[in-house]
Structure 1
Amino acid sequence: MKFFTITALIAVTLQFHLNPVSAQTTQPVPAPTDFEVHAVFTETPPFIDGNLDDPTWQDIQPITNLTQVWPEDGAPATEDTEVRIAYDRDNLYFAFRFYDDNPELIRAKNLERGGRNNRDDHAYIGIDTYLDGRNAYLFEMNALGTQDDALVTDEVLNYDSFSWDAVFRSETVIDDEGWTLEVAIPFRQLRFPEGEELEFGLMVSRMINRKNERVLWPAIGMEYGGSFGVLAAASQYGRLKGLKGINRGKNIEIKPYLISGAQEVRPDLQNETTDIDYNYDFGGDLKYSISSNMTLDLTVNTDFAQVEADNVQLNLTRFNLFFPEKREFFLERAGLFEHGNTRSTQTFFSRNIGLTDQILTGARVTGQTGRYSIGLMNIETGDGMGDLFGVNSTNNSVARFQANVFPRATVGTIFTNVEQPDGYNRVLGFDTRYRFWSSSQFDAWYTNVWDDNSLLNDAAGNISIQLENDIFEGGSSFTSVGQNFRPELGFVRRLDFRQYSANAGYKPNVDFSSIRKLYFRTSYDYFEGQDGTLQTTEFSASIRSELGNRQSFEVEYERLFERLINNFTLRPDAIIPAGDYTFHTLSAKGRTDEARNVFGSFDFSTGQFYDGNRTDFGVDFGFRQSKHFHIEGGVNHTIIRLPFENGDFEATTIRSSLLGAISRKLFAKALIQYDNFSRNLQSNLRINWIHRPGSDLFLVFNTNYHITGDNEDLFGPRKDFILNSRAGIVKLTYLIMI
Structure 2
Amino acid sequence: MLNNLKFNILLYFLCSFSALSQDNPEEIRKKTLQTRKISSSISIDGHLNEKEWENAETATNFVMYSPDNGKPIDQTKKTIVKILYDNNAIYIGAVLHDDEPDKILKEITERDNFGTSDSFGVYINGYNDGQQDFRFFVTAAGGQADCLATEQNGEDYSWNAIWESAAKITDSGWTVEMKIPYAALRFSAEEKQTWGINFVRELKRYRQTYTWNFVNSQIGAVIQQAGLLKGISNIKTPTRLFFIPYTSGYLSTDKENTDFEFKGGLDIKYGINDAFTLDAILIPDFGQTKYDNVVLNLGPFEQQFNENRPFFTEGTDLFSKGNLLYSRRIGSVPNLSITLDENETIDQYPASVNLLNAVKISGRDKNGLGIGFLNAVTEKTMATAYNETTGTSREVEIAPLTNYNVTVLDQRFNKNSSVTLINTNVMRNGSFRDANVLGLLFDLNTKKNTFNLSGDLKMSSLYELENTNGYNTSLYLGETSGKVRFSSGINYVSKDFDNNDLGINFQTNYTSWSGNANYRILNPNKTFNTFRVDLNSYMQYNNTTGKIQSNNFNINVSTTNKDNHYFGGGIDYNPFKNYDYYEPRTDGRYLVLPDSYGAWVYFSSNYNYKFALDINPYFTNTSEKNRNEYGITISPRYRFSDKFSFIYSFDIYKQQKNVGYIDSDETAIYLAKRDRDTYTNSITSKYSIKPNMNFALSVRHYWSYAENKNIYSLNEDGTLTENSSYTANKNSNFSTWNMDLSYSWWFAPGSQLSILYRNNANAFSRDIDKDFGNNLSGILKDNLQHIFSISIRYYIDYNQAKNWFSKA
If the length of structure 1 is used for normalisation, what is the TM-score? Answer: 0.86
CA distance in 1, matches of 2:454, 2:560: 29
Query: What is the aligned counterpart of 2:640 among 622, 625, 644?
Result: 625
Matched, 1:667 2:685: no
Cα gap change, 1:275 to 1:128, in 2 (>3 Å): same
Cα gap change, 1:479 to 1:711, in 2 (>3 Å): closer
Which residue identity lines up with residue 410 of structure 1 in the other structure? S
Structural mapping, 1:164-179, within 5 Å:
164-179=159-174
Q: How far has the Cα of 1:649 moved from its partner?
A: 2.8
Structural mapping, 1:395-544, within 5 Å:
395-421=403-429, 422-436=432-446, 437-438=448-449, 440-453=451-464, 454=466, 456-487=468-499, 488-509=501-522, 513-531=526-544, 532-544=546-558
Q: Is the 2:249–2:262 Cα contact (8 Å) retained in structure 1?
A: yes
The equivalent residue for 1:546 is 560
CA distance in 2, matches of 1:133, 1:615: 46
Cα gap change, 1:262 to 1:558, in 2 (>3 Å): same
Q: Matched residue of 1:337: which SS?
A: helix
Q: Is the 1:555–1:586 Cα contact (8 Å) retained in structure 2?
A: yes
Structural mapping, 1:236-385, within 5 Å:
236-264=225-253, 274-313=256-295, 319-340=301-322, 346-355=323-332, 356-369=352-365, 370-382=367-379
1:447-487 deviation per Cα after TM superposition (whole angstroms, max 9, x unaligned): 11111134542121221122122412100011122323222
Q: Is the 1:257–1:733 Cα contact (8 Å) retained in structure 2?
A: yes
Query: What is the aligned counterpart of 1:125 among 92, 117, 122?
Result: 122
CA distance in 2, matches of 1:510, 1:242: 36
1:81-132 deviation per Cα after TM superposition (whole angstroms, max 9, x unaligned): 00001110101110010000111110000331122x1531001211111222
Q: How far has the Cα of 1:239 moved from its partner?
A: 0.9
Which residue identity lines up with residue 423 of structure 2 in the other structure? F
Q: Is the 1:254–1:285 Cα contact (8 Å) retained in structure 2?
A: yes
Q: Is the 1:360–1:384 Cα contact (8 Å) retained in structure 2?
A: no
Matched, 1:75 2:87: no
Q: Matched residue of 2:317: which SS?
A: helix
Matched, 1:584 2:597: yes
CA RMSD between the two structures: 2.7
CA distance in 2, matches of 1:508, 1:317: 40
Q: How far has the Cα of 1:670 moved from its partner?
A: 1.5
Which residue identity lines up with residue 538 of structure 1 in the other structure? N
1:246-285 deviation per Cα after TM superposition (whole angstroms, max 9, x unaligned): 23221210001111112235xxxxxxx6343321111111
Q: Matched residue of 2:312: which SS?
A: helix
Cα gap change, 1:176 to 1:312, in 2 (>3 Å): farther
Q: Matched residue of 1:642: which SS?
A: strand
Q: How far has the Cα of 1:648 moved from its partner?
A: 2.4
CA distance in 2, matches of 1:133, 1:202: 10
The equivalent residue for 2:150 is 153
Query: What is the aligned counterpart of 1:723 among 752, 763, 783?
Result: 783
Q: Matched residue of 2:57: which SS?
A: coil
Which residue identity lines up with residue 797 of structure 2 in the other structure? M
Q: How far has the Cα of 1:536 moved from its partner?
A: 1.1
Q: How far has the Cα of 1:566 moved from its partner?
A: 5.4
Q: Matched residue of 2:690: which SS?
A: coil
CA distance in 1, matches of 2:755, 2:376: 27
Unaligned regions of 5+ residues in structure 2, if any? 1-28, 333-351, 383-398, 660-671, 705-733, 799-808
Q: Matched residue of 2:782: which SS?
A: strand
Q: Is the 2:411–2:420 Cα contact (8 Å) retained in structure 1?
A: yes
Query: What is the aligned counterpart of 2:132 among 118, 128, 135?
Result: 135
The equivalent residue for 1:88 is 86
Identity %, equivalent residues = 22
CA distance in 2, matches of 1:243, 1:50: 23
Query: What is the aligned counterpart of 2:212 among 214, 217, 220?
Result: 217
Q: How far has the Cα of 1:598 moved from its partner?
A: 1.5
The equivalent residue for 1:201 is 196
Q: How far has the Cα of 1:73 moved from its partner?
A: 1.1
Q: Matched residue of 1:125: which SS?
A: strand
Matched, 1:603 2:616: yes
Which residue identity lines up with residue 496 of structure 2 in the other structure? N
Q: Is the 1:34–1:65 Cα contact (8 Å) retained in structure 2?
A: no
Q: How far has the Cα of 1:302 moved from its partner?
A: 1.1
CA distance in 1, matches of 2:765, 2:455: 51
Q: How far has the Cα of 1:312 moved from its partner?
A: 4.8
Q: How far has the Cα of 1:372 moved from its partner?
A: 1.2
The equivalent residue for 2:97 is 99
Q: Matched residue of 1:120: which SS?
A: coil
Q: How far has the Cα of 1:543 moved from its partner?
A: 2.3
1:23-57 deviation per Cα after TM superposition (whole angstroms, max 9, x unaligned): xxxxxxxxxx9511112211113210000111111
CA distance in 2, matches of 1:64, 1:724: 58
Q: How far has the Cα of 1:319 moved from its partner?
A: 4.9
With 393-402 and 448-457 compared, the bigger mean Cα shift is at 448-457
CA distance in 1, matches of 2:215, 2:645: 34
Cα gap change, 1:682 to 1:609, in 2 (>3 Å): farther
Unaligned regions of 5+ residues in structure 1, if any? 1-32, 266-272, 341-345, 386-390, 571-575
Q: Is the 1:466–1:475 Cα contact (8 Å) retained in structure 2?
A: yes
CA distance in 2, matches of 1:516, 1:245: 47
With 205-214 and 722-731 compared, the bigger mean Cα shift is at 722-731
Q: How far has the Cα of 1:191 moved from its partner?
A: 1.8
Q: Is the 1:555–1:589 Cα contact (8 Å) retained in structure 2?
A: yes
CA distance in 2, matches of 1:694, 1:717: 41
The equivalent residue for 2:711 is none
Q: How far has the Cα of 1:491 moved from its partner?
A: 1.9
Q: Is the 1:133–1:235 Cα contact (8 Å) retained in structure 2?
A: yes
Cα gap change, 1:455 to 1:549, in 2 (>3 Å): farther
Q: Is the 1:134–1:155 Cα contact (8 Å) retained in structure 2?
A: no
Q: Is the 1:509–1:516 Cα contact (8 Å) retained in structure 2?
A: no
1:598-639 deviation per Cα after TM superposition (whole angstroms, max 9, x unaligned): 112111112315730111211112112122211112111112
Cα gap change, 1:735 to 1:501, in 2 (>3 Å): same
CA distance in 1, matches of 2:507, 2:784: 33
Q: Matched residue of 1:223: which SS?
A: coil
Q: Is the 1:71–1:548 Cα contact (8 Å) retained in structure 2?
A: no
Q: Matched residue of 1:224: which SS?
A: coil
Q: How far has the Cα of 1:720 moved from its partner?
A: 6.6
Q: Where does structure 1 differ by over 6 angstroms across 4 or more consecutive aligned residues? A: 707-710, 716-720
CA distance in 1, matches of 2:547, 2:378: 41
CA distance in 2, matches of 1:465, 1:401: 23
Cα gap change, 1:709 to 1:294, in 2 (>3 Å): closer
Which residue identity lines up with residue 521 of structure 1 in the other structure? D
Cα gap change, 1:258 to 1:717, in 2 (>3 Å): closer
CA distance in 1, matches of 2:128, 2:583: 52
Q: Matched residue of 2:102: which SS?
A: helix
Cα gap change, 1:215 to 1:328, in 2 (>3 Å): same
The equivalent residue for 1:701 is 757
Corresponding pairs, count: 674
CA distance in 1, matches of 2:764, 2:518: 49
